[in-house]
Amino acid sequence: MKHLLSTHDLSREDAVRILDTAEQMAAVGTREIKKLPALRGRTVVNLFYEDSTRTRISFEAAAKRLSADVINFAAKGSSVSKGESLKDTAQTLEAIGADAVVLRHWASGAPARLAATDWINAAVVNAGDGTHEHPTQALLDAFTLRRHWSRVRGIESTGADLDGMRVVIVGDVLHSRVARSNLWLLRTLGAEVTLVAPPTLLPVGADAWPCAISFDLDETLSTGPDAVMMLRVQAERMNAAFFPSVAEYSRRWGFDDVRLAALDEHGFEHTAILHPGPMNRGFEISSGAADSKRALVLEQVANGVSVRMAVLYLLLSGDN
Amino acid sequence: MTSTENHPEAFLIRGASLLGGDPEDFLLADGEIAAVGPDAAAHPRAAGAREIDAAGLIALPGMVDLHTHLREPGREDAETVETGTRAAARGGFTAVHAMANSNPVADTAGVVEQVWSLGRRSGWVDVRPVGAVTVGLAGERLSELGAMAESRAGVRVFSDDGICVSDPVLMRRALEYVKAFDGVIAQHAQEPRLTEGAQMNEGEVSAVLGLPGWPAVAEESIIARDVLLAEHVGSRLHVCHVSTAGSVDIIRWAKARGIAVTAEVTPHHLLLTEEQVRTYDPVYKVNPPLRREADVLALREALADGTIDIVGTDHAPHPDEAKECEWAQAAMGMTGLETALSVVQHTMIETGMMTWADFARVTSTIPAAIGRLADQGRPLAVGEPANVVLVDPAHRWTVDPGTMATMGRNSPFAGMELPGRVEATFYRGTPTVLDAELNTPRALGEQA
């Protein structure tokens, strides 16, 4: 593995290896000295064309725990805003001696483009590109789900996949890189996936995806899924007629207290709730759901560092 | 290569297959086809004529492109009339229509005459400017279409290409108005609201790639509206770069109904599909976008059965920096003049769907007729203008944009092996291409 660009082309073997490595990295995080010398002398650049403090600090923590030198390059407010091209920026980073570029970009495909050109030799990690993919988010979600599913099944997490797990992804699938990356990876790991969204927020062509599609959240929840992943929805979508109002969206597709109570009434004790953050409380998820014991939201954040450590470690040290 | 001052050299072409028929000799002299058949060698002008052994070569009428972006004036960093027409000659063309989206826009008699003069000065092909339908391509009010028609450029084709004339009233008026001088509106069919921010064909591939979709319905709905408008006001309509199977169905229906619509397909839409976009390489970014395999097959069938009338290149050169970037940032468009013949041979002739005579129809005869070019797209017969191309259909080559005459390096066919090579192009008897190399332009003095 030279780059991590998407989960679409990630093999089951590579995915499980990343998750297993992340388990080892997580063990480091519980020690008093949370640091490994693995990437000493290596340079990791966080190149962010889009604001994302959460993802950036997660990658920064991951690189630092592996003793890499970290350069944060926020493309907003730099030469990029004066019109420097991605090509020139990449060549600059190459000249500086970057070993890995963690790229967050508003344009779908920008990391793939960087990896395919001769502008830079560094390993490229996709930290979210447009509405395409966000592979490390999917890996940390899979890591979180694997621990949950292993607990339910009473088996060891390491080495396991998600065979037989039923996962529901709810919300703005059309604009979500998280949904795409999760769908491919969950399928690769053996889970069954149902997407629930208003028809306007599903892409044309999604009927060819390897998943079930539903417009009815209550009906889907009544089947007792093992996990429900809520996606962030931007209220501005309302202005482009994707849905009539925040209130209507919330009633039909939000994870509210009534739906939370219904899970309890049905006796679905294992159904976990995930959200990639940042959450719009009261819109796509209620505080009651976000703070319930079903919610794995903070575990997701903690696991993000372990998974990103694993990715950087595997890309920069190889298999040796 | 020698040529007398006022009388261009005569050429005796030996054993060429005219439109793919049996080998014959023919003589080009004084800008015309002077003789065809066994008598050609005995014709008085054959004495001292340069002989060309054309065994194995196919003779075709000079190709006519109804859709070329020459970029001058305004974007001389992308292409000039000189470089674009050199590319055209190499590609087998003897006439091109220069699209109006230059800077300034070709929306006045002054600008179209400037482009026309630049074409004459270059002398590689006839350059026929296309006039903008609306002032500044802004879609608000009609340009002085009559003034452009009356100008020395003699404009007959009007288009806001690159932008759709989306206002139905403006489109209706334009269709009606150009009847006064036998003009035609060439529509870039793209419903603007349905394609805001669109980056590629909308479907299964865009769903995976997360690129905003350009739905087929945005093209088809405009074509449906426009053929009905053309019927209502009794005008000629030309549809640029048709790209979907649904558009083909609508045009087929319109033609069956007797509506005066003609349609065009680009070489790239005959060969490439949206699958190429998976690379995120902007060399594949074009408007309208590359579509599905089913669309490609429907377009080929439509070209073969005459539903689509012509091939137009939509040659759109861009400087490297316009493509060396993220997909969303990249300019739309592909070069096409120097690959058109090969791509059409590959997709239409080698598949058995068309003959070389059909090729001549869709690349020369009908585009010349749509553009009302009296001395282009003519039969290969005695007394006709010597606009002739010799093609080696057996030659195979690997496309290398670095060796092309166009300034644009944005060929989506780079690295592909394609059949066919233009061995010679005669533009009014002047050999603009000989031995598959650019030779000489036609001197201005000959262009009276």
Give dist(CA A294, CA A271) in Å, integer.
7
The ipTM, to two decimals, is: 0.94
Work out the minimum CA distance from B261 to partner chain A, whole angstroms.
31
Among the listed residues B66, B60, B152, B158, the one whose alpha carbon sits nearest the alpha carbon of residue B115? B152
Q: Which residues of B touch A112 (CB under 8 A)?
A: 279-280
* Pairing mode, strands B126-129 and A166-170: unpaired
Task: Please give the pLDDT value at position B346.
Answer: 98
Give me the sign of the Cα torsion angle B438, B441, B442, B443.
negative
Whether B314 is a known active-site residue: answer: yes
**For A116-158, how does the pLDDT look when each residue is reduced to its tens digit (9 = 90+)?**
999 999 999 999 999 999 999 999 999 999 999 999 999 999 9
Tell me the average pLDDT across B427-435: 97
Give dist(CA B54, CA B18) in Å, integer.
11
Measuring CA to CA, how many Å separate A174 from each of A249, B210, B213? 15, 8, 11
pLDDT of B2 > 50? The answer is no
pLDDT of A39 > 60? The answer is yes
Tell me the average pLDDT across A185-212: 98
**For B382-422, how does the pLDDT look when each residue is reduced to its tens digit (9 = 90+)?**
999 999 999 999 999 999 999 999 999 999 999 999 999 99
Q: Which residues of B touch A107 (CB under 8 A)?
A: 326-329
pLDDT of B5 > 70? The answer is no
**For B20-63, how does the pLDDT look when each residue is reduced to its tens digit (9 = 90+)?**
999 999 999 999 999 999 999 999 999 999 999 999 999 999 99
Q: Which sequence spans correspond to the domains of chain B?
A: 11-59+382-443, 64-370
For residue B99, the one-letter residue type is: M
**What's the per-residue H, E or C state across chain B?**
CCCCCCCCCCEEEEEEEECCCCEEEEEEECCEEEEECCCHHHCHHHCCCEEEECCCCEEEECEEEEEECCCCCCCCCCCCHHHHHHHHHHCCEEEEEECCCCCCCCCCHHHHHHHHHHHHHHCCCEEEECECCEHHHCCCCECCHHHHHHCCCCCCEECCCCCCCCCHHHHHHHHHHHHHHCCEEEECCCCCHHHCCCCEECCHHHHHHCCCEECHHHHHHHHHHHHHHHHHHCCCEEECCCCCHHHHHHHHHHHHCCCCEEEEECHHHHHCCHHHHHHCCHHHCCCCCCCCHHHHHHHHHHHHHCCCCEECCCECCCCHHHCCCCHHHCCCCECCCCCHHHHHHHHHHCCCCCCHHHHHHHHHHHHHHHCCCCCCCCCCCCCCECCEEEEEEEEEEECCHHHCCCCCCCCCCCCCEEEEEEEEEEECCEEEEECCEECCCCCHHHHC
Q: Which residues of A touch B207 (CB under 8 A)?
A: 203-206, 208-209
Among the listed residues B139, B80, B144, the one whose alpha carbon sits nearest the alpha carbon of residue B106? B144
Return the number of CB contacts < 8 Å for A and B.
77
What is this structure's pTM? 0.95
pLDDT of A227 > 70? The answer is yes
Retrieve residue B283's tokens.
Answer: 């060399």
Out of 3.40.50.300, 3.30.110.40, 3.20.20.140, 3.30.390.50, which CATH number does the structure's domain B64-370 have? 3.20.20.140
pLDDT of A234 > 90? The answer is no
DSSP string, chain A: ---B--STT--HHHHHHHHHHHHHHHHHHTSSS----TTTT-EEEEEESS--HHHHHHHHHHHHHTT-EEEEEESTTSGGGGT--HHHHHHHHHHHT-SEEEEEESSTTHHHHHHHSSS--SEEEEEEETTTB-HHHHHHHHHHHHHHHHHHHTS-STT---TT-EEEEES--TT-HHHHHHHHHHHHTT-EEEEE--GGGS-TTGGGSSSEEES-HHHHHTT--SEEEEPP--GGGGGGTSSS-HHHHHHHHSB-HHHHHHHHHHT-TT-EEE--S---BTTTB-HHHHTSTTB-HHHHHHHHHHHHHHHHHHHHHTT-
Q: Which CATH class is domain B11-59+382-443?
A: mainly beta
Domains of chain A: 12-134+301-317 (3.40.50.1370), 135-300 (3.40.50.1370)
Note whether B327 contacts A204, CB cutoff 8 Å. Answer: no
Work out the minimum CA distance from B160 to partner chain A, whole angstroms.
28
Location of structure tokens 């007729």: B369
Neighbours of A96 (CB within 10 A): 12
Tell me the average pLDDT across A30-51: 93
Which of A204, A231, A239, A242 should one mutate to test binding to chain B, selecting the residue with the greatest count of B CBs within 10 A? A204
Note whether B279 contacts A116, CB cutoff 8 Å. Answer: yes
**For A11-23, how does the pLDDT look when each residue is reduced to its tens digit (9 = 90+)?**
999 999 999 999 9
Q: List the single residue in A with minimal CA-CA distance to B329.
A: A107
Q: Which residues of A touch B204 (CB under 8 A)?
A: 205, 208
Note whether A112 contacts B328, CB cutoff 8 Å. Answer: no
* Pairing mode, strands A166-170 and A123-129: unpaired
Work out the minimum CA distance from A174 to partner chain B, whole angstroms.
8
Note whether A132 contacts B325, CB cutoff 8 Å. Answer: no
Note whether B327 contacts A85, CB cutoff 8 Å. Answer: no
Location of structure tokens 């970057």: A98
Output the CA angle B158-B162-B164, nearest 5 degrees.
70
- The percent of residues above 70 in pLDDT, for chain A, comes to 97
Q: List the single residue in B with minimal CA-CA distance to A111.
A: B326
Q: Which residues of A touch B210 (CB under 8 A)?
A: 108-109, 129-133, 177, 180
